[in-house]
Amino acid sequence: MRRDDPWSRGRLVSLARATAVLIAPLVACQKPQPGASAIRESSERGKQPIVAYGCGSCHVIPGVGQATGLVGPPLTHFAKRAYIAGEVPNNPDFLTQWIAVPQSIEPGTAMPNLGVSYGKARDIATYLYTLK
């Protein structure tokens, strides 16, 4: 397979997506789930980087007063969504990766890489999962 061949690239992307769908449930089963107080604490911490990184300049995010942007999709009811960026299953690991390094999930996406650390991305993800 040649790297510059669009047909090969398409097959690689399809293979990566299929692999992600198959592996995601296994990864989720292996990680211990945090307690309710840890989730609450992390979700509250998640609001701070949402504001600091300017996520609200592109997205409407309930519970974050400054988050009224109309460039990206509104993140209302985020916890109920099946997919992230229409590409991978909506689970904490993929969402954390999407927030930290969006190009790794969807090359060429308009979502910018803002330099969000994986720790801050996890906190943001935890907050987004409170949006039912």
Average pLDDT, the chain: 83
In this prediction, residue 40 carries a pLDDT of: 60
In this prediction, residue 1 carries a pLDDT of: 46
Chain centroid, CA 75 distance in Å:
11
What is the mean predicted confidence (pLDDT) over 109-115? Answer: 96
Cα separation of 55 and 67, whole Å?
Answer: 7
| Residue, of 50 and 2, whose pLDDT is higher | 50
What is the mean predicted confidence (pLDDT) over 20-41? Answer: 55
Tokens of 89: 């299953």
Cα separation of 16 and 22, whole Å?
Answer: 10
What is the mean predicted confidence (pLDDT) over 3-17? Answer: 58
Whole-structure pTM over 0.75, yes or no?
no
Report phi then psi at 33, rounded to 5.
Answer: -85, 135
Domains of the chain with CATH codes = 34-128 (2.60.40.420)
pLDDT in tens, 33-44: 555 555 566 567
pLDDT in tens, 60-89: 999 998 899 999 999 999 999 999 999 899
Q: How confident is the model at residue 21 (pLDDT cuts 50, 70, 90)?
A: low
Please answer whether residues 124 and 40 qualify as being in contact, where contact means their C-beta atoms are separated by less than 8 angstroms: no
